[in-house]
Amino acid sequence: MPNAFRITSQTAEAVQIPLGLKSLQKEVGGYIEAAFTVPSIDGGSRFVTGYVNEEGLLIGLPMCLITADGGSYSGNCIIVGLDYSTGDTVPLSATELAWVSENCEKVMEMTPFGMDTMRVWGLDLTSKEVAA
């Protein structure tokens, strides 16, 4: 069962991954940095956090994520849950996965000469609704 959401220059999809530091670093290809943390649609002490490679821009990773607040991030992004009361990384709930998935959309696609198609994804987690 998926417990996280991965955004790359190729795909945006729900995935099952181990939730430890090493796994998160592997997902983004280096040291992690919290790109955003927003209150969960589930409420309580739950939040949703997106981690990116903290050196993504410096090492030339392609931009693949634009957030509603105007942030742009290079390299992969892995989105997981956060229990704010303990600081623990937790699996995304089914509701959170649906919320992230429904609010992530392809906003640009380009094919540089001789390269694979690259996509840029937009993510707007300001809405607190999930389609039934």
The predicted model scores a pTM of 0.89
Of the chain, the end-to-end C-alpha distance in Å amounts to: 20
Tens-place pLDDT, residues 84-130:
999 999 999 999 999 999 988 888 777 766 666 677 878 887 776 66
Burial class (CB in 10 A: 0-12, 13-18, 19+), 101: middle
Taking only the tens place, the pLDDT of each residue in 30-79 is 999 999 999 999 988 999 999 999 999 899 888 888 888 888 888 999 99
